[in-house]
Amino acid sequence: MSARITASVFTSHVPAIGVAMDLGKTELPGWVPLFAGYERAREWIREDPPDAVILVYNDHGNAFSLEMIPTFALGMAASYEPADEGWGPRPVPTVPGHPELAAHIASSVIQQDFDLTLVNEMTVDHGCTVPLSIMFGLPETWPCPVVPLAVNVVQYPVPSGRRCLALGQAIRRAVESFDEDLNVQVWGTGGMSHQLQGPRAGLINEKFDTMFLDRLVDDPVGLSEMPHVDYVREAGSEGIELVMWLIARGAMDDLDGGAAAREIHRHYHIPASNTAAGLLLLENP
Ligand code: DHB
Ligand code: FE
């Protein structure tokens, strides 16, 4: 008996997507095509709901400030309140944690030589709550516990793609040695191409995003070699968030000698706010 990783989810976490849901505006013509692409994902997750989600995301100066920026911070808490990002916290449920699974992941992954920061108390911002809303809608309580893994993509230097993929592989080994029969998903969030400030604000690069999605599916190892400067040049300064998707990808069977991941659903929409919004679901065979 042990936990296993059954699937991975990759999605943008644009705050305006959460706001559109919170304010009941998803039926407005501008939003309809984006949300239409989420239907299949919500159906899929209802068919085989995870017992826990390891949610890889970045904090945007809310739980952490510029005073202290951990590279990889694992949430160990029993619950996480939505952060106040300046307009009050989102009206979504408290995010339940999974302290036992988190403690096991910490112990296993740190013994595999990754220096995680352990976080016993933090709030979670749109980076974490918007992906939950995309996949689960607006329930009264979130349907499963979450182990948040916050990655620094805010202040350089940020971790390399190679390091992120390897961390995913280490997380996989951790989950598979957890002594409980759990269906675990790993989610990678952020991206796709976007730049929110400076002379290139508004940058979107569909060609790059398509290449990124294709290679994430078929060539994750090659993609993990892509240097940061390519993300920033091609996908904008905030496009670097995409490096986090490699953590979730690294946790799939095929990165551990198993059969190829199966692509279940892909959705790409321009724009959500200033961002190219992407969604990809992969399942282990
Ligand atoms: C936007 C996108 C993000 O990923 C983010 O963290 C903040 C804002 C945007 O497009 O508005
Ligand atoms: Fe972001």
Helix (H, G, I), strand (E, B) or coil at 161: helix
Cα separation of 151 and 148, whole Å? 10
Residue with tokens 């916290």: 89
**225 CB neighbour count, 10 Å cutoff:** 12
Within 6 Å (CB) of ligand 1, which residues are found? 13-16, 60, 190, 194, 196, 238, 273-275
Q: Does residue 180 surpass a pLDDT of 90?
A: yes
Distance in Å, CA 17 to ligand 1 centroid: 9
Nearest CA to ligand 1 atom 1: 14
Percent of the chain with pLDDT over 70: 100
Confidence band, pLDDT 50/70/90 cuts, at residue 123: very high
Ligand 1 atom nearest 241 alpha carbon: 4
The per-residue pLDDT for range 243-272, each reduced to its tens digit, is: 999 999 999 999 999 999 999 999 999 999
117: β partners: 73
β 52-57/183-189 pair status = parallel
Best substitution site from 87, 238, 240 to test ligand 1's pocket, by max atoms within 8 Å of Cβ? 238
What pLDDT is recorded for position 147? 99
pLDDT for the residue numbered 266: 98
Report residue 1's pLDDT band, with 50, 70 and 90 as the boundaries: confident
Q: Helix, strand, or coil here: 186? A: strand
The helix or strand, by DSSP H or E, that contains position 55, with its residue range, turns out to be: strand 52-57
Active-site choice (13, 60, 98, 126): 126
CB 179 within 8 A of CB 233: no
Mean pLDDT within 58-73: 96
Task: Assign domain 4-273 to its CATH superfamily.
Answer: LigB-like (3.40.830.10)
176 three-class SS: helix
109 pLDDT higher than 90 = yes
d(CA 161, CA 227): 7
One-character DSSP codes across 108-152: HHHHTT--PEEESS--B-HHHHHHHHHHH-S-SS-SS-EEEEEE-
User: Which token pair is 234?
Assistant: 């091609």
Q: Model confidence over 181-225: pLDDT tens digits?
A: 999 999 999 999 999 999 999 999 999 999 999 999 999 999 999
Q: Is the pLDDT of residue 141 over 90?
A: yes
Concatenated DSSP letters of 199-237: TTTT---HHHHHHHHHHHHH-HHHHHT--HHHHHHHH-G
Question: Catalytic residue at 60?
Answer: no
